[in-house]
Amino acid sequence: MATDPSPQIPMRASPKRSNNSIHPVDVETPPVRTPTPIIYREIKHFKKWIPWLVPAFVVANTVMFIITMYVNNCPKNSVSCVADFLGRFSFQPFKENPLLGPSSATLLKMGALHVKEVVDGDQGWRLITCNWLHGGVFHLLANMLSLLVIGIRLEREFGFIRVGLIYIISGFGGSLMSALFLQSNISVGASGGLFGILGCMLSELITNWTIYANKVASFVTLLVIIAVNLAVGILPHVDNFAHIGGFLTGFLLGFVFLIRPQFGWVSQRYAPPGHSSSARPKFKKYQCILWAVSLILVIVGLSLGLVMLLRGVNANDHCSWCHYLSCVPTSRWSCNTEPAYCSSTQLGSQVNVTCSTNGRTTTYFLPGASSSKIQSLCSQQCS
């Protein structure tokens, strides 16, 4: 009696199985929920903004410089100019302004910071307007390129409101420190707001320390940008006191405006239904402490600085060497950016100009000398 053959077991699956077949893995292993949706929602919690305010600041500063050079009108108001082919947009002589820019008198007319005008002339608005003026092309390029590099990234991460507030308040803080130390010279530049952005980036790195993967690279980048701007700060018309004041103000504001929730709280908030975990606070304890202390310090610091300025306090009385932080004099330029005052006598085409500051007298042959050209000669005579 013949026996039935044993059941045949297929050794391999046909590559042309129908769609109704079930792969062994589908049977033996239950489907696993991947964490991708949770990770996506966690990252989405930190909204990405489209940066437009920082580029607008760059355009505004550039337009103000063009207007300032138009008002300066070097060919009409000076005996000699740099880059004469630019017409009325040409620059003052290098000895008078090595940054390729306007005269000190023009900057003062446009709203540069001058303590005498603020305290005695009740022109407190100069603490704001000076942040939108620049001493020259080199000054403008250094500030605006740095602002674009660091400002756009910050605005993309935190939005235009917080970045705008930090920029403006830091600029005001820089102007206050500048006014307390530079009692005679004028001061211009967006450096206060720029260094405020740098300062808040440093404090943001500290308060949100766990977010960054490469902390050393971020720190080194900040140091390079700060070093470049400080190098420019030793030239006349550039104010390192505004750099320092803006940096300190922005550093404190970063703890206030740029604080982020810790990742544990974000993960808990976007966890799937039924997921249980111990409740976590939105912010770490050290973040809250830094927020409160920084808010108090920035309010007290700006208020105290303003009161000291209006009372005529000169911070140099307490620091005899601090003025070198703003400008290092050389044989190529003078650190005296105060508008020059001279006495002059004119006999025909011969003009005698005497600087009231150093007593130096020079005779010039200048047919049809106007008052603006005599003022330009005075600036060179006193520099």
Q: What is the DSSP letter of 164?
A: H
User: Which pLDDT tens digit goes with each residue over 226-258?
Assistant: 777 667 666 665 678 888 899 999 999 999 999
Q: In this prediction, what percent of the chain has a pLDDT beyond 70?
A: 70
Query: Which CATH number applies to 50-264+282-324?
Result: 1.20.1540.10
Q: Chain-wide mean pLDDT for the chain?
A: 78
Q: Give, in order, the Cα–Cα distances in Å from 184 to each of 78, 162, 163.
A: 23, 34, 32
The C-alpha R_g of the chain, in whole angstroms, comes to 32
How far, in Å, CA of 270 to CA of 256, rounded? 25
Residue 122 burial (CB < 10 Å; 0-12/13-18/19+)? exposed
Residue 89 in contact with residue 70, Cβ under 8 Å?
A: yes
Q: Give the neighbor-by-neighbor strand order of the sheet with 342-347.
A: 342-347, 350-355, 361-365
- Any idea which residues carry the catalytic annotation? 191, 243
Helix (H, G, I), strand (E, B) or coil at 113: strand
Nearest to 355 by CA among 342, 340, 371, 346: 342
319-360 residue pLDDT tens? 777 777 777 766 666 666 555 667 676 776 677 777 766 667
Contact 264, 243 (CB under 8 A): no
Closest CA to 91 of 136, 141, 132, 60: 136
The set of residues, in sequence order, having a beta carbon less than 8 Å from that of 30 and lying 6+ positions away, is: none
pLDDT digit string, tens, across residues 136-149: 998 899 889 989 98
